[in-house]
Structure 1
Amino acid sequence: MSPTARVSRDVPDHLPDVLAAGAVVIHRDAVLLVHRPRYDDWSFPKGKLDRGELAPVAAVREVGEETGVRVRLGAPLSSQRYPNGSRMKTVFYWHGRVVGDPGVEDYVVNEEIDEVAWVPLSKARKRLSHTFDHDTLEEALSTEWRTRSLIVVRHSHARTRKSWRKDDRLRPLLAEGHRQAARLVPLLHAYAPTRLVSSSSVRCVQTLTPYAESCGWPLQRTDALSEEDATVESVVEVVDELLDGKESAVLCTHRPVLPAVLDALGVDTEKLAPGELVVVHHRKGKVTAFERY
């Protein structure tokens, strides 16, 4: 998540924050804004997290619901934190990139959102109603937003080595591992990788299969990321190819191989548990930000 948050003013913190998520969507020198009649204000599309929902998933869902525009997330922005009645509200933001048609003409207005507009960047600051939104827009414009994502996944929970007497490459996921793999799907869709690369081992392939089936993109299997065959050189070659490519990508590998992958990316983070992932945002081969889920 973004490491910093802006607070407009202080209120007691005895209650948990209301959590919300949204995106600053920039397309062809314009930013996507919505008008809320209840507050008579212009702001970025955003909304509350559903129970158990991760913030990136909520951000993409809310942009789609409030504007009709499908987006994928780029690098995270600083979160906002401000009073919301007797509680505080925290809103997580990302850069948003349009996927498909950017048109908003067919959006059906409602009581919550009665106008959606692509506002020229030169006029957006004047249109936005809140100072903290001005700050978020300035951050979005001053940071790299034309990034791609490389998502690094540790395979989900698999059968133990002691319980498996066949070739370890064939060791499958447990039922919980399959559930984890299914839960990965909406999170991966939030970043919309179109290049899918997995260790050739069954447990890694099974981890990415639900996403592959849901998006329709082919799943590439490679020994270069397998626990038995991976070398530092083979890992670097795979990572460099994905960084140099023109697509956002996801790769799945094993705990012993992950340090080589993260070292190749220059990312320093704690060990990933089964089913956890790191989203690395990059531009022209240079890492600009990363998140962990």
Structure 2
Amino acid sequence: MISQSSAQATSSKWTDKAVYAAGAVVWRLIDGKLRILLIHRTKYKDITLPKGKVDPGEMLAETAVREVHEETGIRVSLGVPVGVSRYHLPSSKQKVVHYWAAEATVDAIRASTFVPNKEIAALEWVSVKKARSRLSYPVDLEILDFFANLVDDGVLRTFPIIALRHAKALSRSDWDGADAARPLTDRGRDQAKSIVGPLRAFGVRKIITSDAVRCVQTVKPLAKALGRKVVMTEKISQDAWEDGHDDLRSVIGRRVRAVKPAVICSHGPVLPGLLTEIALATGTIRGSYVNSAADLEPAAFSVVHVSASNPGSGIIAIETHVPKI
């Protein structure tokens, strides 16, 4: 099963036409039984899923984790996307809400800072069946149905392998040195900073990059924010790819075996090979989705969701995020 989605940062062009928001179906296991989190809103006297509007400059993934934390006190990392709801506001503008599945770990729940407040009166953990009768809005039920399908397919718990294209670099015509030494432009450095939040939203813990300067500079802000070391390798560099000495397979194979959230930063020409190797390493039938996920603008990234319990069962979903800088 492969589902594809695309999510981008907000801009004035977006908000002229619609109001964008993001949230999550937050879940946990209690005594081996699946429970999802519903919020009781004070002002509207309704029961819904945690969500909220995108702040200026945010990308949707970081909005989702921020809103979940603000409304429930629980810090989560995003899993598989579970749909988009659309409905019209009293102002006649359309509201578009992107949702992800998100597991609430025991530690995250223990660290929750929630207390009833003027926005959220209560939190309630319920079964999927009970949620169907509790939720106030049909659009929430559609999201719940998609989530329930993941549960039925046994692919709820996943981990991401994120293919990231380096940010905007100085052009070859403006650079006299070795191609691998080309640095980011000012815009590229801003792009690198802008993707820290959305990459953190997916729980990234491992950072692997081509040893080219433009790739290393792209992941440097993320590494600093996470307090993690960057693993640099020539195996996924453009120079090695052009010379036929790349080794994408070993890099991807190791990430699939590790079953841990990781970002891999490389180059435009190399990305189709990286995505192909992820497909092969997970036993996924190759298709046009590989080229779509690999066709990235500078600093854009595709999140490939893989089953944590059975990585060889195939890619579960792919989503692409594009910074608007």
Alignment partner of 1:275: what SS? Answer: coil
Query: Which of 248, 271, 292 is the equivalent residue of 1:258?
Result: 271
Instruction: Identify which range, 167-176 or 216-225, moves more after superposition.
Output: 167-176
Question: Would the aligned equivalents of 2:236 and 2:246 in 1 still touch at CA under 8 Å?
Answer: no
Cα distance, 1:161 vs structure 2:
1.9
Higher mean C-alpha deviation, range 94-103 or range 110-119:
94-103
Q: Which moved more, 1:147-156 or 1:223-232?
A: 223-232
CA-based RMSD of the aligned residues comes to 2.1
SS at match of 2:275: helix
Question: SS of the residue aligned with 1:72?
Answer: coil
Q: Tell me which of the two structures has the higher relative contact order, counting C-alpha pairs closer than 8 angstroms and 6 or more residues apart.
A: 2
- Residue among 32, 43, 52 paired with 1:47: 52
Structure 2 partner of 1:287: 315
Task: Report matched runs for 1:209-288 at 5 Å.
Answer: 209-230=220-241, 231=244, 234-266=247-279, 267-269=290-292, 271-283=295-307, 284-285=311-312, 286-288=314-316
SS in 2 for 1:274: coil
**Contact persistence 2:51–2:64 (CA under 8 A):** yes
Separation (CA, whole Å) in 2 of partners of 1:268 and 1:90:
27
In structure 2, the partner of 1:25 is: 26
Unaligned runs of 5+ in 1: 5-14
Q: 2:9 maps to what in 1?
A: none
The verdict on how the C-alpha distance between 1:47 and 1:250 changes in structure 2, with shifts beyond 3 A counting, is same
Displaced runs of 4 or more, over 3 A: 1-4, 103-106, 230-233
Residues 256-286 of structure 1: per-residue CA shift (max 9 Å, x gap):
2112112223423162121111111111142
What residue identity is the alignment partner of 1:141? Answer: A
Q: Distance in 2 between matches of 1:243 and 1:125?
A: 35
Residue 38 of structure 1 and its aligned partner are, at CA, apart by 1.6
Secondary structure of 1:162 counterpart: helix
CA deviation profile, 1:45-94 (whole Å, cap 9, x unmatched): 00111123221111111001000100111111121112321332221111
What secondary structure is seen at the aligned counterpart in 2 of 1:265? helix
Report what 2:286 is aligned to: none
1: distance between equivalents of 2:5 and 2:192?
27
- State the shift of 1:104 in Å: 7.5
1:127 equivalent in structure 2 = 134
Query: Aligned letter for 2:256?
Result: L
Q: CA deviation at 1:116?
A: 1.8
Relative distance call for 1:104 and 1:219 in structure 2 (3 A) is closer
Structure 2: runs of 5 or more not aligned = 7-15, 280-289
TM-score, normalising length: structure 1: 0.89
Which amino acid counterpart does residue 269 of structure 2 have in structure 1?
Answer: P
Once residues 164 and 233 of structure 1 are traced to their aligned partners in structure 2, the CA distance between those partners, rounded to angstroms, is 24
Deviation of residue 171 (structure 1)? 1.8
Q: Aligned in 2, Cα 1:211/1:64: closer, same or farther, shift over 3 Å? A: same
Distance 2:245 2:254 in 1: 14
The alignment status of 1:181 with 2:181, answered yes or no, reads no
Q: Is the 8 A contact 1:226 1:257 kept in 2?
A: yes
Name the CA shift for 1:18/1:251 in 2 (closer, same or farther; >3 Å).
Answer: same
